[in-house]
Structure 1
Amino acid sequence: MFSPYYAWAGRRDPLNHCALNVALYGKSGHRWAMTERRRDHISRSENEFVLRRSALAWDGTRLRVHIDEPTVPFPGRIRGTVTLHPSPLSGKSFLLDDNERHAWSPLSPVSRIEVALEKPDLGWSGAAYLDMNTGTEPLEAGFRYWDWSRASMGAETAVLYDVTMRDGGRRSLALVFDDKGEVREIDVPPSVRLPRTGWTMPRSTQSEDGTARVIKTLEDSPFYARSLVSSKLLGRPVTAMHESLHLDRFRSPIVQSMLPYRMPRQFW
């Protein structure tokens, strides 16, 4: 959805603009892969999606992702396997805008993951999350800005959405999912403004006691930030994965011209 090549091509033939995005954060530094593939590098079936050397396969009980991708902007490679073991799928879908053009589906908010990488030599297991967004128009046509966060709390996962639509309207979601696939709404906590990023990106989140703190900023770009944030939900402290997306900035020609440095396209 952020592909500059897809936008320049008039947003036609999406299968000609596919990429697997992998981001690793650790003490040894960050690694990023997001190379866009042509249609002739893509194949798919009911249970498998192949992007040249990488592939996603569903065997009925787990999602297995084989990764073999070049890193940018510094040359390298991420290679290995990620296996996601979902809890019962929620089957829920939520509209994000008043015009009903954008939907979010939390497929398995409470999951387990196993990571086994060869390059770099890393491996771990832990809590995971799987969702999907769909839309009938570009994100920047429907929204100006949004904040999203997901906090894993053992057998439950809390997800917060706060969006500002293109017409200035607002919509907030505060949901808790359990490991049985059930979901319940909770009162939307008070909004808390977070410090701006190095690119002066605004950030905010929600917390029951009106306080929150950025533990670490993982991604800092002109239009997007990913952070670890501490806050309070359901009466207890939580650590959440948090994202801020500034779509007015994203649609600017200057930012569009910068995107190929983080998302190259393989033309050969």
Structure 2
Amino acid sequence: MIGFIGSVFSPWYAWTGRRDPTDHCCLNVVTSGANGRFTMTDRGRAALVQSRDRLQLGPSSMTWTGRELVIEVDEWGALPMVTPVRGRIILRPRAVTGTEVRLTADGAHLWRPFAPIADIEVDLTQGHRWRGHGYFDANFGTRALEDDFAFWTWGRYPLRDRTICFYDAELRDGRHFDLAVETDMTGTVRHCIAPPRTRFARNPWLVRRETRADPGTRPRARLSLLEAPFYSRALVETRIEGEPTIGMHEALDLGRFRSPLIKPMLAVRVPRRAGWS
């Protein structure tokens, strides 16, 4: 689930020249399995209400209570499963970090891992009800992702007493950005040494995928969550410092995303609703 102000993957936002991020906000919710749904309605500025502890996106919202992030979901699935997706998600951080990372040298793109270790409760329609471990972060930017990046992968892997996040990016100017940070149960964030970057099977659209793995280990996708011609999200199994782990992984091909053919394809899955009352 992602809340957007300035929906970076919205074709409607791109077609306006990305002039007004507040006029293109949304709550993107993706569930998997036989009853999985995809919601990503591009909403106009009338749907956006912000305060210190609350983000309202039309009928849906995120509220920070001081101890919990409560997400109220009231959306509609995209084609071909146009049905309501409603319910509540509650995320309880084990600790909240103050870490901020520049993804580009000029700070045009920032990453904030607010709660790399958290507990989560999910109760949504279509039978998605479960408890487990969760994660909460945010990205901020003043330029389009495809203006600065050619390709990136990201992964978050829980270990016995900490969690590790990897950011590996190729910038359009040929430089690389490689980041490995670990967070313990107290919320302390440290740089760590990453094992080698290791490729594994491409997604069904042949998007390249790689993550970090101990030498001799070949990662593998255990569960596909979202696949597109320029994007892959999956649960990936790997081994880090001798410990097997299954974590969330994404691969994003910004070269493909820049293609003018992609935007009309996205418009089918990302409807535009400009008005709200």
Q: TM (normalized to structure 2)? A: 0.92
SS, match of residue 261 in structure 1: helix
Alignment correspondent of 2:259 = 252
2:132 alignment partner, SS class: strand
Alignment pair present for 1:9 and 2:16: yes
State the SS of the aligned residue for 1:20. Answer: strand
Q: Which runs of 4+ in 1 moved over 4 A?
A: none
Confirm whether residue 190 of structure 1 aligns to residue 196 of structure 2: yes
Q: Distance in 2 between matches of 1:142 and 1:160?
A: 19
Counterpart of 1:199 in structure 2 is 205
Residue 133 of structure 1 pairs with residue 139 of structure 2: yes
Match of 1:71 in 2: 77
Aligned amino acid, residue 79 of structure 1: R
Deviation at 1:99, TM superposition (A): 3.6
TM-score norm. by structure 1 comes to 0.95
Do the aligned partners of residues 36 and 155 (structure 1) sit closer, same or farther apart at CA in structure 2, a change above 3 Å counting? farther
Look up the match of 2:93: 86
Contact 1:90 1:182 (8 Å CA) reproduced = yes
Deviation of 1:154 after TM superposition, in Å, equals 4.7
* Alpha carbons of structure 1 residues 155 and 83: separation in structure 2 relative to 1, 3 Å: farther
Are 1:191 and 1:210, in contact at CA under 8 Å, matched by a contact in 2? no
Report percent identity of matched pairs. Answer: 39
> 5+ unaligned residues in a row in structure 1: which ranges?
none
Equivalent residue letter for 2:85? I
Q: Which among 243, 254, 261 is matched to residue 250 of structure 2?
A: 243
- Taking the aligned partners of 2:236 and 2:95, their CA distance within structure 1 comes to 27
Could you tell me how far 1:155 is from its partner in structure 2? 4.2
CA distance in 2, matches of 1:210, 1:253: 40
Question: How far apart in 2 are the matches of 1:168 and 1:60?
Answer: 42
The range that moved more, 94-103 or 141-150, is: 94-103
Q: Which amino acid aligns with 1:234?
A: E
How far apart, CA to CA, are the structure 2 residues paired with 1:121 and 1:208?
A: 37
Cα deviation code 1:18-58 (max 9, x no counterpart): 000101112x2421111111111222222111122111111
Q: Could you say what secondary structure the match of 1:140 adopts?
A: helix
Amino acid at match of 1:192: T
Matched positions, count: 266
Asked if 1:18 is matched to 2:16, the reply is no
In 1, distance between residues paired with 2:268 and 2:117? 34
For 2:46 and 2:161, the matched residues in 1 are separated by 42
- How far did residue 15 of structure 1 move? 1.1
Aligned-partner SS, 2:261: helix
Q: Give secondary structure in 2 for the equivalent of 1:167.
A: coil
Equivalent position amino acid for 2:206 in 1 = T
**Mapped contact 1:44–1:50 kept (Cα < 8 A):** yes
- AA partner of residue 209 (structure 1): P
Aligned CA-pair RMSD: 1.4
Quick one: which of 220, 234, 238 aligns to 2:241?
A: 234
